[in-house]
């Protein structure tokens, strides 16, 4: 496996008005690795995820995905924000799954999955449909292709959202608390899909409160609080043997 960095975030800062949400986050992840971000609400995890694909514009630092500077170009010592079209092209290579499934309510599961490959990647409808059916099978929803989101459970909608992200053939998948809006009995199906995805070698960054999942699947775990990285390491280091009091208190509270 190549040890090339898929994500290289250097001193990332992000403020909303006078509120500095990210205070110099430096993190990296290699291709094929799974990184789980843990931390209390408001610690900056979701904001950091949104900065990776430039849904939020950073106020400081540099963020590289697969060696390419995200959202900006460097000219001399300065950086300039890319045009929206150029950002969209970069973003098309990064899959993102949100807490809320964000499916198009007027489209079936199949139509939701083929929309972007046809519109953005200019793939033929036949090819996109074939791939979409394979992806729906992969997430265990072959029989739901013609169902609308309103006819699906939350867990099923989230699995369609994962299939939709995968249809763009991303090199990096971002998950923002993908199970937090689900009923407890539906969480397992979504985590199973993510587990298989990790096993297949997909590079993943997952914001989650599912400690068992992080322990089992993550190569690296990062604990964030108040906009800084408090602790990072292997799951056994951070989850089972945390060094910082803040990490210990958080792990105890969620287990």
pLDDT digits (tens, 9 = 90+) for 69-117: 999 998 888 889 999 999 999 999 999 998 888 899 999 999 999 999 9
Provide the CA 84 distance to its chain's centre, in angstroms: 21
Which DSSP symbol is given to 234?
A: -
**Residues in CB range of 48: below 8 A, 6 or more apart:** 9, 12, 14, 22, 25, 27, 37, 224
Which DSSP symbol is given to 238?
A: I
Which DSSP symbol is given to 83?
A: P
pLDDT at 180: 87
3-class DSSP assignment, residue 45: helix
Mean pLDDT of 147-167: 95
Task: Write down the pTM of the prediction.
Answer: 0.94
What is the Cα–Cα distance from 72 to 83, expressed in whole angstroms?
Answer: 9
What is the Cα–Cα distance from 22 to 16, expressed in whole angstroms?
Answer: 10
| The two three-digit tokens of residue 198, written as one number | 């990790």
What is the Cα–Cα distance from 175 to 162, expressed in whole angstroms?
Answer: 9
Longest dimension (CA), the chain: 55
Mean pLDDT of 120-138: 95
pLDDT band, very low/low/confident/very high, at 3 (cuts 50, 70, 90): low
What is the Cα–Cα distance from 109 to 164, expressed in whole angstroms?
Answer: 9
For residue 219, count other CB atoms closer than 10 A to its CB.
Answer: 16
Query: What is the rounded radius of gyration, in angstroms, for the C-alpha atoms of the chain?
Result: 18
Dihedrals φ, ψ of 5, to 5°?
A: -75, 130
The pLDDT tens digits of the residues spanning 42-60 come to: 999 999 999 999 999 999 9
| The two three-digit tokens of residue 103, written as one number | 């499916």
């Amino acid at each position: 496996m190549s040890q090339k960095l898929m994500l290289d975030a250097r001193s990332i800062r992000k403020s909303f008005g006078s509120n500095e949400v990210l205070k110099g986050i430096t993190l990296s992840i290699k291709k094929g690795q799974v990184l789980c971000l843990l931390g209390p609400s408001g610690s900056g995890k979701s904001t950091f995820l949104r900065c990776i694909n430039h849904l939020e514009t950073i106020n400081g630092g540099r963020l590289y995905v697969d060696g390419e500077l995200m959202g900006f170009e460097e000219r001399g010592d300065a950086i300039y924000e890319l045009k929206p079209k150029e950002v969209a092209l970069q973003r098309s290579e990064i899959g993102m799954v949100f807490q809320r499934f964000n499916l198009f309510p007027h489209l079936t599961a199949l139509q939701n999955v083929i929309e972007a490959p046809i519109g953005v990647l200019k793939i033929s409808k036949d090819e996109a449909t074939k791939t979409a059916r394979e992806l729906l099978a992969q997430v265990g929803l072959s029989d739901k292709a013609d169902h609308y989101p309103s006819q699906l459970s939350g867990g099923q909608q989230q699995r369609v959202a994962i299939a939709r992200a995968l249809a763009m053939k991303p090199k990096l998948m971002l998950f923002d608390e993908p199970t937090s809006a689900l009923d407890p009995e539906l969480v397992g199906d979504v985590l199973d899909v993510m587990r298989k995805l990790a096993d297949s070698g997909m590079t993943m960054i997952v914001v989650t409160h599912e400690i068992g999942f992080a322990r089992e699947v993550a190569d690296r775990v990062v604990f964030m609080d108040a906009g800084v990285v408090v602790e990072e390491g292997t799951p056994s280091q951070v989850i089972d043997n945390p060094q910082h009091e803040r990490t210990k208190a958080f792990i105890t509270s969620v287990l």
